Structure 1
């Protein structure tokens, strides 16, 4: 079977697919190891993406290790909901980064304020900040 044929093109959709696969595994479903491994390899090899990946993705290379991890998240009544919430929370920083892009909402505001400073003003502000530290 050609597992990479079903993998989306965009990094955001790959990350979302991975989140959904892990959620399925943690809530009684199954997960395709070859598909997970292909996506994981691609995402973990990107130096910008790797630090945003959930720690369990960085350490769990297959469904067996992921399942062992997911069982440790919560067992008993409410386990599926707790695991789903855990996975969603862990993927949130990565998905937000990929969805919004590299900038954050304050970037344009900060840039506008900084454009008002000249070289001397920046030096004075920096010296003041160093004194306070």
Structure 2
């Protein structure tokens, strides 16, 4: 059923928004109404998303359940077609905003790679980083580092390699790289040693920028505030590095 409480079709904010819109259309046109609790949950999650809330129509803030939305839409328009057009037009800014965020170069292949590897943890961590880039750059940077740590731990778990659960992203990357034969000292060719050393430097840098401008630590009277472009750089780097690890791990396991 389209509106049961199964969240498997809600992988991202865009999925939740589209599902919520379908529920609004159902209410407005006399079709099967969404479950009240599901409606309330989705409404709360959409309004709580800082990158989305300012793009949502005002009636979502006022209509707290299906009955209240019906009381709003029913007298406003006489025909189903008018109601459908109104809902779609009023929801378009929010949908366009999210779709615009998803069209960054390289995002889609990284998304597919990470979600295929582990949709509930890795995929969710990546989506959180994507969703926060514009409205919450500091949160996006923190999420980017968490993504790398999660991927490294998953690979180390799968490889049966012990690690310190409190280790930072740089240390976890070094361990995972060694398991995957990606550590610089495991190669003779200088070009590979340089590239792989730079990969370690990128991960160390992501950890450093997270400590400097992320939202995981308090700051003084002159806080450093990252901008969306800083968040986009951090998120894209983290996604690329995480995807590289995953593909290497898959190649390694396929060969064994």
* TM-score, scaled relative to structure 1: 0.68
| Matches for 1:1-133 after TM superposition, within 5 Å | 3-6=5-8, 8-29=10-31, 30-75=33-78, 79-101=79-101
Give 1:36 deviation, angstroms: 1.1
SS at match of 1:47: coil
What does residue 149 of structure 2 align with? none
Larger relative CO (CA 8 A, sep 6+): 1 or 2? Answer: 1
Q: CA RMSD in A?
A: 1.9
Contact 1:4 1:38 (8 Å CA) reproduced:
no
SS at match of 1:96: helix
User: Can you list the C-alpha shifts for 1:48-88, whole angstroms capped at 9, x where unaligned?
Assistant: 2111111111110001100001112212xxx1000000000
Unaligned runs of 5+ in 2: 104-256
**Residues 6, 27 of structure 1: CA spacing in aligned structure 2 closer, same or farther, 3 A cutoff?**
farther
Contact 1:4 1:35 (8 Å CA) reproduced:
no
Contact 1:37 1:62 (8 Å CA) reproduced:
yes
Distance 2:49 2:6 in 1: 18
Greater radius of gyration (CA): 2
Kindly tell me the number of residue pairs found equivalent between the two proteins.
Answer: 99
Runs of 4+ in 1 over 2 A off after TM superposition: 4-7
What does residue 110 of structure 1 align with? none
Distance 2:37 2:59 in 1: 17
Bigger mean CA deviation after superposition, 87-96 or 6-15: 6-15
Distance 2:86 2:92 in 1: 10
Distance 2:9 2:44 in 1: 13
Distance 1:74 1:11 in 2: 29
